[in-house]
Amino acid sequence: MTDYYRIVPWFSTKEWLKVYNSLYCTTSDNDYPNALKWLLIWKARCPSLPSGIESTLSLLDVYVQDTNAVDKTDDQLIRLAYSSAIMRFVNHMFDSDAAKGKSLYRIAETRGVPDWIVDLRHETAHSNNLPSLELLREATSICLQWLHDNYWLLHKEILKDYVVNKNELLTTVSEENISSLISVWTMLSFLLHTNSEVKSLANIPLDLQKSLFNDIQDLFGSAINLSNLKMPVRTLISQLDTFSGKMINNINKDHLIRLLVDEESLVLSTKVYKAMSTKKKGLDAVYVKCFEVFLQFLTSHDLLEEFTLEVIRITERFKTNRAQSKLAAKWVSQILKALRNTQMFLEQAAKKNVDVQNKTKKELLSLFHHWFPNAKSCPLFLDLKKPVPLSFTDINIIQPIITNYNPNLTLFISDLLHLVRPKLPNPIKNRISKLALLIASPQGFNAKSEKIYTPEDFNVQLEDMKLDNIASNKSVDAIIPHTSDHEVECKEYSIWKKASRNHEWSSCPIGLLPWQMEENMSNDMDIDQ
C-alpha cells in the first residue's frame, strides 16, 4: 500500500462496476436512471467527488431530466441545465492544464475533445443566447463518451479492493514522512519567531526555503501551492495545519511522540539550548518563543499531553544523560506554566459567563491581560480555549510522578501542584515541594536535629494531620483518638502516651519512669513474701 490512501464513496469494486455497467453497458440498453441514483448516493457519502465522476453526474442528471420531461414545449430551463453541465465538464476536466497557461482550444485538441464544445462553453459563459437543444444533446453524448474513454475505462483496468484494519491505517505514514512533518513545523516555529524578520515566503533564506519547500512537497504534493512567494508565513501555517491534521489521524501516536523526543529533537537539544539560552534556572523567553508555533501545533492536535508526559519520563534519566534530563525538566516547567495560564483564564471566563469559543486568538490574549494584569510574565501561550488535560489536574494520576525518585522534580513540582483540582492547601503543597527538595539534595539537610521537642510540637503535628484529613476528606477523630488526662494505656496505633498526674515525678530516680518504679516495688514485695 502507498504512503497515502484515499477514502472513496463506493463500498467495493463490485459496486463501482455495477454503476459502470449501468452507464456504459455494451450488451443491452444503458440504465441511466439507476446509474444516476448510485451517483447521487456517492455524492451524499462524499461531497467532494473525483472530477470525472462529478462531471458524469452533472451531465447524466440533465440527460435523465430531459428524457423524462413531460412538458416538451418550454426548453429554456433544460437548455440552461445542459449548458451549465457542459461548462462544468470543460472546467473540471481541463482545469489542471489551464492552470499552466494553456488555452482551452489547445487543451481540447490535445485531449481529443471537439473544439466546438469549447465554443459552447464560451457561448454559455459570455453570450446572451443559449445553444440549441439539439446541439446541447449531441455535445452531452460526446462528453459522456469522452468520460468513458478517459476516466471510467482507465479506472476499470486498475481498480482493486484493498481491505485494511485499524492498525494498518495507523502505519500508512512512513517514519521518514513523520520526521519531515516534525521538521517542517519546527522550522516554521523558528521562522515565525517574534524577533524574526521573516514575514512572507520570499523572506526565508534560500537554503532554508529550498529545504522547507522540498519537505512540504514530499508530504502534501501539489495540495499546497508554494509558487506565490508573497504568501505570508502565517497563511502557509494555516494551510499546513489542516493537511497535517489529516496526516496525524493516520499516524501511530506513540511512534510520533517517540520521534518528537528522540536524540535529534531540537526541543531537547542541549546544543541549541546552550546557543540560545543563558539562564541557569529557567529558559530564556527568546529561546521559548522559537518553539511556540510548534507547541501550539501539538496543542491543537491533542498531542501536548502525551508529549509532556514523555518529556517528564526523560527528566528521570538523570543517571544516563544529566544535561538533557535537566533541560527536559525546564521545558516541563515552562509548559505547565502555560497550562496554568490557560486554567486561570478558563476558570475566570466561567465565573464571568464569557463564551471564549467564538473569540479570536488576539481577542483571547487581550482578555487574559485585562483579567490578569499582574500575572507573572510567561513567554509561552497555548490554546486558551482548550482545558488543561486531566493527567495534570488529578492528584491520583500525578501521584506516581511526584513520589518517584527524581532530582529534577524540584524544577517543575510546584507548577504541577498548582494545576491540581480541587486545589491543594498551601501547607500541603509546601510540604510536598520540600520533600522533593530533600530527595533531590539530601546533603543540604541535617540528619540529626539539635532541637528539644515539647508538647507544643505535638500540637503542631495535630494541626498538620488536620490539614491532611481536610485534603483527604477524612475525620480528624478517625486518626487522633480522644483520651482522658488520667489515661495511661498506650494505643496500638500511636507512639504517644500521656502521663498521669498522679505520679510523683520528683521522687523518681533518673533513668526510670514513675510506673516503672511501681512495677519494681511490686516485684520486690512478691520476693519478700
**What's the pLDDT tens digit per position in 163-218?**
655 444 444 556 677 777 888 888 888 777 656 677 788 888 888 888 888 888 88
Cα distance from N-terminal residue to C-terminal residue, the chain? 102
Residue 225, C-alpha cell as written in the block: 501551492
pLDDT surpasses 60 at 529? no
Cβ contact 477:487 at 8 Å? no
pLDDT tops 50 at residue 348: yes
What's residue 298's pLDDT? 84
SS (H, E, C) 249-299: CCECHHHHHHHHCCCCCCCCCHHHHHHHCCCCCCCCHHHHHCCHHHHHHHH
pLDDT-based confidence at residue 491 (cuts at 50, 70, 90): very low
In tens, the pLDDT along 277-319 reads 766 677 777 788 778 888 888 888 888 888 899 889 988 888 8
| Local confidence band at 449 (pLDDT 50, 70, 90 cut-offs) | low
Model confidence band, residue 101 (pLDDT cutoffs 50, 70, 90): low
Distance CA 301, CA 307 (A): 11
CA dist 93 and 98 (Å) reads 10
pLDDT of residue 250 exceeding 50: yes
CA 296 distance to own-chain centroid: 8
Task: Give dist(CA 35, CA 18) in Å, integer.
Answer: 8
Q: How many CB atoms lie within 10 A of CB 510?
A: 4
Quote the pLDDT of residue 292. 81
Q: What is the pLDDT of residue 354?
A: 86
- Residue 474: pLDDT band by 50, 70, 90 thresholds? very low
Average pLDDT over residues 403-423: 88
481: pLDDT strictly greater than 50:
no
**Beta bridge pairs of residue 171:** 251
Residues 6+ apart with CB under 8 A from 427: 464, 467
Distances (CA, A) of 271 to 264, 268, 282, 514: 11, 9, 16, 70
Point out the least confidently predicted range of 78-82, 121-125, 262-266, 400-404.
262-266
Point out the least confidently predicted range of 85-94, 239-248, 327-336, 391-400.
Answer: 239-248
Please give the Cα distance from 316 to 507 (Å, whole number).
Answer: 59
Contact 475, 469 (CB under 8 A): yes
Q: How many alpha carbons lie under 13 Å from residue 408 in its C-beta half-sphere?
A: 24
Average pLDDT, the chain: 77
pLDDT tops 60 at residue 152: yes
Q: Check residues 129 and 7 and name the one with the higher pLDDT.
A: 129
Cell numbers for 32, please give them. Answer: 441511466
Residue with cell 451531465: 59
* Res. 480: pLDDT tops 50: no
- DSSP state letters, 95-119: HHHHTTT--HHHHHHHHT--HHHHH
Give the model's pLDDT for residue 294.
81
Q: Count H helices and E strands in the chain, helices first.
A: 25, 0
DSSP H or E stretch at residue 144: helix 133-147
Mean pLDDT computed over 424-445: 78
Arithmetic mean of pLDDT, 111-133: 84
Q: Which residues, 6 or more positions from 187, have their beta carbon under 8 angstroms from its beta carbon? A: 208, 211, 212
**Measured between alpha carbons, how far is residue 143 from residues 37, 136, 149 in Å?**
20, 10, 10
Domain parsing of the chain, residue ranges: 13-158, 168-385
Q: Is the pLDDT of residue 144 over 50?
A: yes
Calculate mean pLDDT across residues 448-470: 64
pLDDT at 477: 47
Question: What pLDDT does residue 25 have?
Answer: 75
Q: What is the pTM of this model?
A: 0.53
Confidence of residue 24 (pLDDT cuts 50, 70, 90): confident
More confidently predicted of 159 and 472: 159
List Cα–Cα distances, 56 to 65, 86, 454, in angstroms.
14, 10, 94
Give Cβ neighbours of residue 293 (< 8 Å, ≥ 6 apart).
185, 188, 189, 192, 237
pLDDT at 376: 63
Could you tell me which residues come within 8 angstroms of residue 7 by beta carbon, excluding any fewer than 6 positions away?
46
Mean pLDDT of 440-444: 64
Q: With a cut of 70, say whether residue 489 has pLDDT above it.
A: no
Under the banding of pLDDT at 50, 70 and 90, the label for residue 492 is very low
Per-residue pLDDT at 467: 62
More confident residue, 244 or 87: 87
Q: Dihedrals φ, ψ of 388, to 5°?
A: -65, 135
Share of the chain above pLDDT 70, in %: 75
163 within 8 A of 86, measured Cβ to Cβ: no
Bridge partner list, 200? 232
Q: With the CA atoms of 332, 338, 341 and 346 taken in that order, what torsion angle do they form, in degrees rounded to the nearest 10?
A: -100
pLDDT top residue among 148 and 128: 148
User: Which helix (H) or strand (E) covers residue 229, if one does?
Assistant: none
Q: Which residue has the higher pLDDT, 131 or 481?
A: 131
3 state SS for 422-448: CCCCHHHHHHHHHHHHHHHCHHHCCCC
Q: Can you tell me the distance from the alpha carbon of 509 to that of 504, in angstroms, rounded to the nearest whole number?
A: 11
Mean pLDDT of 320-337: 88
